[in-house]
Each structure stands twice: as C-alpha cells, then as structure tokens.
C-alpha cells in the first residue's frame, strides 16, 4: 500500500514524504501539526471504493458525522475522480484523502485524516497519530481493509468472490 503525500494541484504530482516509511515509520502528524495553523485544510475530498459495500457504508457514516472541515465524498471509480485526481498515486488502490492545501494521504494515514475532520473523532485522530499509537492505527486500518469484503457479508451483503463488491441498490441494507 502506498503511504505518501502528493501535491494534486494543477494535475502535477510532486511526491513528499508524509506517511509511513519502512518498518519504523510513523503515521503522519495530525494535519494541524503538519500544515501549521495558517495552512490547515478547510476542505478534504475522500476517495473511496464505490464497488465495496463496506466502503460505501463507511462513506455514508462519514457523511452523517458532524465535521469541522468540509468533507466531499467521491467514488474513486468515477469519471469525476479520474478527471480531478488521475495523477495522485494510489487512486483506486486504497482509501485516499486529498486536502484543499494539495496534500494527500493514503491508507492508514487517510483513515486518521478522516477522523481528524470529524468533530467527535478529532481527539482520537491526534492520539492515533502520536508515535506511541501510530502502530495501532496502521494495524487497525490494515486488518479492516483486508477483511472489508467479509465485513460487508457480516452486515448482510452477499460475499464478494471477485475482489470487488457491488454496492446494493438504494433501499438495500446500506442505504
């Protein structure tokens, strides 16, 4: 899984280290610490796998939570996502968050940034980004991501056999 940040402005992809690096890497610092108070994001775009019922359910949960910054949810397989973020590494491979500052996070780091954006969950984002607990956010996210299709089946969705789950139609168990 790629764990790096990129600038997505003007379609240019300039890689900067902000994620895990090697076995001793740490989850990225919370956005306010990384960017500083004057450049903290005011808007994030969360790109999620719209073919995965569990991911769709998580996106719906994210949309239902009170947020401290604007949160836009965008299916990574959509034409709009490819047009806006086609050059961002990891598009479609993992959870991806892109901020209006041009920073991007993927995998466990993106999970922490999603928590950072939510009013009730921001304190937990700071805890999970701390070096002492960063391993926990990485392990949790990795285990959930590996088992997301099984989790969807536990929530009443048919199991996925081809590696992709189609989200149920509106009115189904996830809507």
Q: Where are the alpha helices (DSSP H) in 27-174?
A: 31-35, 53-64, 79-85, 108-117, 122-129, 134-146, 148-154
Q: Is residue 78 within 8 Å of residue 86, measured between CB atoms?
A: no
Provide the residue range defining the domain that includes 146. Answer: 43-154
| pLDDT value of residue 143 | 87
Say if 165 falls within a structural domain: no
The number of distinct structural domains making up the chain is 1
Say if 33 falls within a structural domain: no
Say if 76 falls within a structural domain: yes
| Distance, CA of 137 to CA of 59 (rounded, Å) | 18
Q: Per-residue pLDDT averaged across 47-54, rounded? A: 87
Say if 10 falls within a structural domain: no
For 131-151, how does the pLDDT look when each residue is reduced to its tens digit (9 = 90+)? 998 898 889 888 888 888 788
Q: Per-residue pLDDT averaged across 142-164, rounded? A: 70
pTM of the predicted protein model: 0.68
Residue 98 has pLDDT above 60, yes or no: yes
| pLDDT value of residue 52 | 84
Split at pLDDT 50, 70, 90, the class of 5 is very low
Say if 15 falls within a structural domain: no
Q: Which residue has the higher pLDDT, 52 or 167?
A: 52
Say if 164 falls within a structural domain: no
Q: Which residue has the higher pLDDT, 118 or 163?
A: 118
Say if 107 falls within a structural domain: yes
CATH of the domain at 147: 3.40.30
Say if 131 falls within a structural domain: yes
């Amino acid at each position: 899984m790629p764990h790096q940040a990129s600038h997505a402005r003007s379609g240019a992809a300039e890689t900067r280290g902000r994620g895990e690096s090697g076995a001793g890497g740490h989850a990225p610092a919370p956005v306010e610490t990384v960017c500083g108070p004057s450049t903290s994001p005011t808007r994030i775009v969360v790109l999620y796998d719209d073919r995965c019922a569990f991911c769709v359910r998580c996106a719906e949960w994210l949309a239902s939570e009170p947020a401290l910054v604007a949160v836009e949810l965008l299916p990574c397989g959509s034409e709009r996502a490819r047009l806006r973020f086609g050059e961002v590494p990891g598009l479609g491979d993992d959870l991806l968050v892109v901020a209006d500052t041009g920073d991007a996070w993927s995998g466990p780091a993106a999970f922490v940034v999603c928590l950072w954006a939510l009013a009730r969950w921001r304190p937990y984002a700071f805890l999970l980004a701390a070096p002492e607990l960063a391993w926990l956010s990485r392990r949790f996210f990795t285990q959930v991501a590996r088992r997301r299709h099984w989790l969807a089946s536990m929530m009443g969705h048919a199991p996925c056999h081809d590696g992709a789950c189609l989200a149920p139609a509106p009115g189904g168990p996830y809507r």
